[in-house]
Amino acid sequence: MELPFAESYKIKMVEAIRKSTREEREKWLKEAYYNLFNLRSEYVYIDLLTDSGTGAMSDKQWSAMMLGDESYAGASSYLIMKDTIKKLFGFNDFLPTHQGRAAENVLFSVLVKEGDIVPGNTHFDTTKGHIEFRKATAVDCTIEDSFHPTKYHPFKGNFDLEKLENVLKSNPIEKIPVIIVTITCNSSGGQPVSMQNLKDVYSLAQKYGTKVFFDSARFAENAYFIKMREDGYQNKTIKEIVKEMYQYADGMTMSSKKDAIVNMGGFIGFRDRKLYEEASVYNIMFEGFVTYGGMSGRDMNALSQGLMESTEFEYLDTRIRQIAYLGERLKKFGIPLLEPFGGHGIFIDAKRFLPNIPKEEFIAQTLAVEIYLESGVRAVEIGTLLADRDPVTRENRYPAMELVRLAIPRRVYTNSHMDYVAAAIENVFERRDKITKGLKILQEAPIMRHFTVELDRA
């Protein structure tokens, strides 16, 4: 018999989680104003809100923490991180930051000015937030296929090169300080960008005279998909693929809470020394001195070790197969999903799941609320709440897709948990015809409203 697939790790420490009753969840939801970010984590049985900062560190990461050097300046932990970044990505200079959006804040303080244009492949919400906060415009250049939930494309995060070239051609180049390539593309479902596309975007940037930065939160998952799907990479290691990917970037911003498998941290990598020096001023103002930037020595150690582990094939294979396992289970029940499955979670197509809810009543959020009510599983809306209002007209922006994301934390849940999640969603699917009312907003913040919005049943 062929031996089945099994995880590439065993468990050394466990954390209890608690089930609840439907009556309890009903009450907690009301108290949370139907915003799942407002729930206490103890009210959640399986937490698929995010894969950000929720991973399980390895024994080697915990050991590395004990060796953290907490010196204010020039700590060995900083130098280990510098070496690791150089080895994996090829960048000589880096700045530590407390998380990914802090890296964006520091970098964009140097690069992005009022009236600028920043092309990208569906910018992540914090990235877009930092661009729009500076009164600049984020222009989406993702391929059209990316917006068709069931259309197969191996690299749905790819740039439409024609769209990108049009933006570069039709604007003064000094208004386009940087192109942001998000790998994998979070907002469009954890979809990868191919090596060829990375290469092509970089040559366009060079041709027109601008820079490319990779928004790198899930760079290792992107490399895994290149290995599995792109010709010529099957026999390369993940680390070799990562090294090649970053030849097509002038720098990177990193949320280490994803593919560095730590609970907090981030950094910016630079090819250009001068840009590093300019950014250092902001890092010192916003984050901390250049050799710690908002991180403790122990955290930098765990981060460096995490980067080495996330770029191992066995780790990635376990992770991405678990996501596909959940996806296949749901697909078998006929639940409408975004396909192919992404690298960090499964995305449910809420418009097809709940055809009776009008878009003004927040389709995806309604579904996320129903899933929680059914099971205590917490997912997250990637739809109209997240898309926010147009900064000029203040009208709701209705995105092409209304998605509910089941983000899978790294090395945290077993496939039995995945079975529970699948059954819960199937139960909601069976009673979908009875779900005819959505939600309405009571109160919202002027920017990134999804975190704090207060809702009620419509």
Ligand X SMILES: *Cc1c(COP(=O)(O)O)cnc(C)c1O
| Residues near ligand X, by CB under 6 A | 52, 99-101, 124, 126-127, 182, 186, 215, 217, 255, 257-258, 266
* Spatial distance between the Cα atoms of 337 and 426, rounded to a whole number of angstroms: 13
- Smallest distance from the beta carbon of 209 to ligand X, in angstroms? 25
- Smallest distance from the beta carbon of 434 to ligand X, in angstroms? 35
441, two tokens = 């907003």
Known catalytic residue: 350? no
**Cβ-based nearer residue to ligand X, 186 or 375:** 186
Catalytic residue among 6, 60, 72, 440: 72
Known catalytic residue: 217? yes
- Smallest distance from the beta carbon of 97 to ligand X, in angstroms? 9
Known catalytic residue: 72? yes
* Spatial distance between the Cα atoms of 116 and 227, rounded to a whole number of angstroms: 35
**Cβ-based nearer residue to ligand X, 212 or 424:** 212
**Cβ-based nearer residue to ligand X, 104 or 402:** 104
Name the residue whose CB lies closest to ligand X. Answer: 100
**Cβ-based nearer residue to ligand X, 29 or 316:** 316
- Smallest distance from the beta carbon of 177 to ligand X, in angstroms? 18
319, two tokens = 């992770």
- Smallest distance from the beta carbon of 451 to ligand X, in angstroms? 11
**Cβ-based nearer residue to ligand X, 44 or 217:** 217
Known catalytic residue: 450? yes
Catalytic residue among 217, 302, 368, 424: 217
Q: How far is CA 254 from CA 62, 258, 260, in A?
A: 21, 9, 9
DSSP structure string for 136-186: -EEEE-B-GGGGSTT---TTTT-B-HHHHHHHHHSS-GGG--EEEEESSBT
How many CB atoms sit inside 10 A of residue 107's CB?
A: 27
Catalytic residue among 78, 94, 108, 124: 124
Catalytic residue among 51, 93, 125, 388: 125
376, 46 in Cβ contact below 8 A?
yes
Catalytic residue among 258, 344, 351, 417: 258
- Smallest distance from the beta carbon of 3 to ligand X, in angstroms? 35
**Cβ-based nearer residue to ligand X, 215 or 230:** 215
Known catalytic residue: 258? yes
Active site residues per annotation: 72, 124-125, 215, 217, 258, 450
